[in-house]
Protein backbone atom coordinates (compact mmCIF):
# COMPACT_ATOMS: atom_id res chain seq x y z
CA UNK A 1 0.00 0.00 0.00
CA UNK A 2 1.32 3.43 -0.95
CA UNK A 3 2.02 6.03 1.78
CA UNK A 4 -0.75 8.33 0.46
CA UNK A 5 -3.33 5.57 0.46
CA UNK A 6 -2.29 4.49 3.94
CA UNK A 7 -2.71 8.05 5.21
CA UNK A 8 -6.23 8.31 3.70
CA UNK A 9 -7.19 5.04 5.32
CA UNK A 10 -6.03 6.32 8.73
CA UNK A 11 -8.06 9.58 8.37
CA UNK A 12 -11.19 7.60 7.44
CA UNK A 13 -10.85 5.36 10.48
CA UNK A 14 -10.47 8.36 12.81
CA UNK A 15 -13.52 10.11 11.34
CA UNK A 16 -15.69 7.02 11.83
CA UNK A 17 -14.52 6.60 15.42
CA UNK A 18 -15.28 10.22 16.50
CA UNK A 19 -19.15 10.00 16.68
CA UNK A 20 -18.96 6.81 18.71
CA UNK A 21 -16.63 8.45 21.23
CA UNK A 22 -18.94 11.49 21.46
CA UNK A 23 -21.97 9.29 22.09
CA UNK A 24 -20.13 7.46 24.84
CA UNK A 25 -19.20 10.73 26.57
CA UNK A 26 -22.84 11.94 26.45
CA UNK A 27 -24.09 8.71 27.96
CA UNK A 28 -21.85 9.19 30.97
CA UNK A 29 -23.32 12.59 31.91
CA UNK A 30 -25.62 12.64 34.96
CA UNK A 31 -29.24 12.24 33.91
CA UNK A 32 -28.38 11.25 30.34
CA UNK A 33 -29.75 8.27 28.45
CA UNK A 34 -28.15 4.85 28.71
CA UNK A 35 -25.04 4.09 26.62
CA UNK A 36 -25.83 3.61 22.97
CA UNK A 37 -28.95 5.80 23.07
CA UNK A 38 -29.04 9.37 21.73
CA UNK A 39 -32.43 10.14 23.35
CA UNK A 40 -32.84 12.23 26.51
CA UNK A 41 -34.74 10.69 29.44
CA UNK A 42 -38.50 11.04 29.59
CA UNK A 43 -39.71 13.93 31.83
CA UNK A 44 -41.40 11.44 34.16
CA UNK A 45 -38.06 9.78 34.76
CA UNK A 46 -36.43 12.95 36.05
CA UNK A 47 -36.34 13.48 39.83
CA UNK A 48 -38.81 16.02 41.23
CA UNK A 49 -37.34 19.33 42.36
CA UNK A 50 -37.11 19.66 46.11
CA UNK A 51 -38.02 23.12 47.36
CA UNK A 52 -35.91 24.65 50.09
CA UNK A 53 -38.36 25.71 52.85
CA UNK A 54 -35.90 28.33 54.05
CA UNK A 55 -35.72 30.06 50.65
CA UNK A 56 -37.81 33.19 50.02
CA UNK A 57 -40.95 32.88 47.94
CA UNK A 58 -39.77 34.71 44.82
CA UNK A 59 -43.23 34.65 43.22
CA UNK A 60 -44.62 37.05 45.83
CA UNK A 61 -41.50 39.00 46.78
CA UNK A 62 -42.47 42.06 44.72
CA UNK A 63 -46.22 41.56 44.41
CA UNK A 64 -48.51 44.12 46.03
CA UNK A 65 -51.74 42.26 46.67
CA UNK A 66 -54.89 44.12 45.60
CA UNK A 67 -57.94 44.51 47.81
CA UNK A 68 -60.03 41.37 48.18
CA UNK A 69 -63.22 41.06 46.17
CA UNK A 70 -66.46 39.76 47.64
CA UNK A 71 -69.36 37.98 46.05
CA UNK A 72 -72.69 39.76 46.07
CA UNK A 73 -74.42 39.32 49.40
CA UNK A 74 -71.28 38.25 51.27
CA UNK A 75 -71.42 38.82 55.03
CA UNK A 76 -68.60 41.11 56.12
CA UNK A 77 -67.72 41.43 59.79
CA UNK A 78 -67.50 44.88 61.38
CA UNK A 79 -65.21 44.70 64.44
CA UNK A 80 -66.54 47.98 65.83
CA UNK A 81 -69.98 46.42 66.35
CA UNK A 82 -68.56 43.72 68.62
CA UNK A 83 -69.51 44.58 72.17
CA UNK A 84 -68.75 42.98 75.50
CA UNK A 85 -69.71 39.33 75.84
CA UNK A 86 -72.32 40.25 78.48
CA UNK A 87 -74.36 42.25 75.98
CA UNK A 88 -77.17 40.11 74.53
CA UNK A 89 -77.09 39.83 70.78
CA UNK A 90 -73.54 41.17 70.42
CA UNK A 91 -72.01 39.80 67.23
CA UNK A 92 -69.33 37.17 67.76
CA UNK A 93 -66.01 37.11 65.95
CA UNK A 94 -66.36 34.62 63.06
CA UNK A 95 -64.01 31.61 63.01
CA UNK A 96 -62.72 32.71 66.41
CA UNK A 97 -62.03 29.20 67.73
CA UNK A 98 -60.03 28.23 64.61
CA UNK A 99 -57.98 31.42 64.73
CA UNK A 100 -57.35 31.03 68.46
CA UNK A 101 -56.21 27.41 68.11
CA UNK A 102 -53.89 28.18 65.18
CA UNK A 103 -52.43 31.26 66.85
CA UNK A 104 -51.61 29.19 69.92
CA UNK A 105 -50.19 26.28 67.89
CA UNK A 106 -47.84 28.56 65.93
CA UNK A 107 -47.06 31.04 68.72
CA UNK A 108 -48.52 34.08 67.00
CA UNK A 109 -50.45 36.78 68.85
CA UNK A 110 -54.17 36.14 68.38
CA UNK A 111 -54.94 39.86 68.03
CA UNK A 112 -52.49 40.04 65.12
CA UNK A 113 -54.09 37.07 63.39
CA UNK A 114 -57.56 38.58 63.80
CA UNK A 115 -56.32 41.97 62.58
CA UNK A 116 -54.86 40.48 59.40
CA UNK A 117 -58.04 38.49 58.71
CA UNK A 118 -60.08 41.65 59.28
CA UNK A 119 -58.06 43.66 56.77
CA UNK A 120 -57.63 40.89 54.23
CA UNK A 121 -61.20 39.62 53.96
CA UNK A 122 -63.47 41.10 56.67
CA UNK A 123 -63.91 37.44 57.69
CA UNK A 124 -65.42 36.44 54.35
CA UNK A 125 -64.14 32.88 53.66
CA UNK A 126 -65.07 33.22 49.98
CA UNK A 127 -63.06 36.41 49.40
CA UNK A 128 -60.79 36.37 46.37
CA UNK A 129 -58.57 38.77 44.47
CA UNK A 130 -57.38 39.45 40.95
CA UNK A 131 -53.92 38.23 41.99
CA UNK A 132 -55.33 34.82 42.87
CA UNK A 133 -55.29 35.21 46.66
CA UNK A 134 -57.94 33.17 48.42
CA UNK A 135 -59.96 33.04 51.59
CA UNK A 136 -59.87 34.59 55.02
CA UNK A 137 -56.17 35.51 55.02
CA UNK A 138 -55.93 36.00 51.24
CA UNK A 139 -53.22 33.40 50.82
CA UNK A 140 -51.64 33.06 47.39
CA UNK A 141 -51.57 29.45 46.13
CA UNK A 142 -47.86 29.70 45.31
CA UNK A 143 -47.13 30.89 48.84
CA UNK A 144 -49.15 28.06 50.39
CA UNK A 145 -47.41 25.52 48.15
CA UNK A 146 -44.02 26.90 49.17
CA UNK A 147 -45.07 26.57 52.81
CA UNK A 148 -45.93 22.91 52.30
CA UNK A 149 -49.55 22.69 51.14
CA UNK A 150 -49.76 20.17 48.31
CA UNK A 151 -53.40 20.72 47.28
CA UNK A 152 -53.95 24.47 47.13
CA UNK A 153 -57.64 23.93 46.41
CA UNK A 154 -57.91 23.39 50.17
CA UNK A 155 -57.31 27.11 50.71
CA UNK A 156 -61.07 27.67 50.42
CA UNK A 157 -61.48 25.86 53.76
CA UNK A 158 -61.25 28.29 56.71
CA UNK A 159 -59.10 26.01 58.87
CA UNK A 160 -56.58 25.39 56.09
CA UNK A 161 -56.51 29.03 55.01
CA UNK A 162 -55.89 30.29 58.54
CA UNK A 163 -53.22 27.66 59.15
CA UNK A 164 -51.15 28.71 56.15
CA UNK A 165 -51.90 32.41 56.55
CA UNK A 166 -50.61 32.27 60.11
CA UNK A 167 -47.63 30.21 58.98
CA UNK A 168 -46.66 32.90 56.46
CA UNK A 169 -47.31 35.68 58.96
CA UNK A 170 -45.06 33.92 61.47
CA UNK A 171 -42.33 33.55 58.84
CA UNK A 172 -42.43 37.26 57.98
CA UNK A 173 -42.49 38.28 61.63
CA UNK A 174 -39.39 36.20 62.29
CA UNK A 175 -37.72 37.73 59.22
CA UNK A 176 -38.34 41.40 60.05
CA UNK A 177 -39.68 42.06 63.53
CA UNK A 178 -37.48 42.36 66.61
CA UNK A 179 -39.97 41.05 69.16
CA UNK A 180 -41.47 37.63 69.81
CA UNK A 181 -44.60 36.95 67.78
CA UNK A 182 -46.47 35.16 70.57
CA UNK A 183 -47.32 38.22 72.66
CA UNK A 184 -47.11 41.61 70.96
CA UNK A 185 -47.82 44.83 72.84
CA UNK A 186 -49.46 47.92 71.29
CA UNK A 187 -46.10 49.70 71.60
CA UNK A 188 -44.26 46.87 69.81
CA UNK A 189 -46.67 46.85 66.87
CA UNK A 190 -45.69 50.48 66.20
CA UNK A 191 -41.97 49.69 65.91
CA UNK A 192 -40.43 50.08 62.46
CA UNK A 193 -39.41 46.42 62.28
CA UNK A 194 -42.95 45.29 63.16
CA UNK A 195 -44.44 47.61 60.55
CA UNK A 196 -42.04 46.09 57.99
CA UNK A 197 -43.33 42.62 58.81
CA UNK A 198 -46.92 43.77 58.27
CA UNK A 199 -45.98 45.48 55.02
CA UNK A 200 -44.33 42.32 53.73
CA UNK A 201 -47.63 40.43 54.03
CA UNK A 202 -49.16 42.92 51.59
CA UNK A 203 -46.28 43.98 49.34
CA UNK A 204 -43.81 41.10 49.56
CA UNK A 205 -40.56 40.89 51.44
CA UNK A 206 -38.56 41.91 48.37
CA UNK A 207 -40.21 45.33 48.31
CA UNK A 208 -39.75 45.78 52.05
CA UNK A 209 -36.04 45.01 51.81
CA UNK A 210 -35.68 47.23 48.77
CA UNK A 211 -36.96 50.27 50.67
CA UNK A 212 -35.69 49.14 54.09
CA UNK A 213 -39.07 49.99 55.52
CA UNK A 214 -42.73 50.20 54.56
CA UNK A 215 -42.72 50.67 50.76
CA UNK A 216 -44.05 54.03 49.51
CA UNK A 217 -47.13 52.44 47.97
CA UNK A 218 -50.50 53.91 48.88
CA UNK A 219 -52.09 50.47 49.13
CA UNK A 220 -49.36 49.12 51.41
CA UNK A 221 -49.24 52.13 53.71
CA UNK A 222 -53.01 52.04 54.04
CA UNK A 223 -52.77 48.31 54.74
CA UNK A 224 -50.20 48.72 57.53
CA UNK A 225 -52.15 51.58 59.12
CA UNK A 226 -55.37 49.56 59.18
CA UNK A 227 -53.83 46.31 60.44
CA UNK A 228 -52.15 48.27 63.23
CA UNK A 229 -55.45 49.89 64.19
CA UNK A 230 -57.32 46.58 64.03
CA UNK A 231 -54.63 44.95 66.16
CA UNK A 232 -55.05 47.48 68.95
CA UNK A 233 -58.84 47.14 68.78
CA UNK A 234 -58.68 43.34 69.01
CA UNK A 235 -56.14 43.57 71.85
CA UNK A 236 -58.68 45.56 73.88
CA UNK A 237 -61.56 43.34 72.81
CA UNK A 238 -59.77 40.13 73.80
CA UNK A 239 -59.05 41.58 77.22
CA UNK A 240 -62.73 42.36 77.66
CA UNK A 241 -63.72 38.87 76.58
CA UNK A 242 -61.22 37.35 79.02
CA UNK A 243 -62.77 39.13 82.02
The residues that are catalytic are 120
Asked if 227 and 119 touch (Cβ cutoff 8 Å), the reply is yes
Query: What residues contact 197, with CB distance under 8 A and at least 6 apart?
Result: 172, 173, 175, 176, 177
DSSP 80-144: GG---TTSTTPPPPTTHHHHHHHHHHHT--HHHHHHHHHHHHTT-TT-B-TT--BTTTTB-HHHH
Q: What is the dihedral of CA 165, 171, 177, 178, to 10 degrees?
A: 130
Backbone φ, ψ for residue 183 (5° rounding): -145, 100
Amino acid sequence: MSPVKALLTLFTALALAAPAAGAQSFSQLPGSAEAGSAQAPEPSALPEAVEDPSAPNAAADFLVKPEAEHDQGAELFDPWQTAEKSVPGAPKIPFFDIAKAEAKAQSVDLALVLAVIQKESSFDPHAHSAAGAKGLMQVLPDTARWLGLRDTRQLTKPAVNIKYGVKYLKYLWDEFAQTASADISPAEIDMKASQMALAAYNAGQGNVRKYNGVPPFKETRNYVEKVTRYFKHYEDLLKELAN
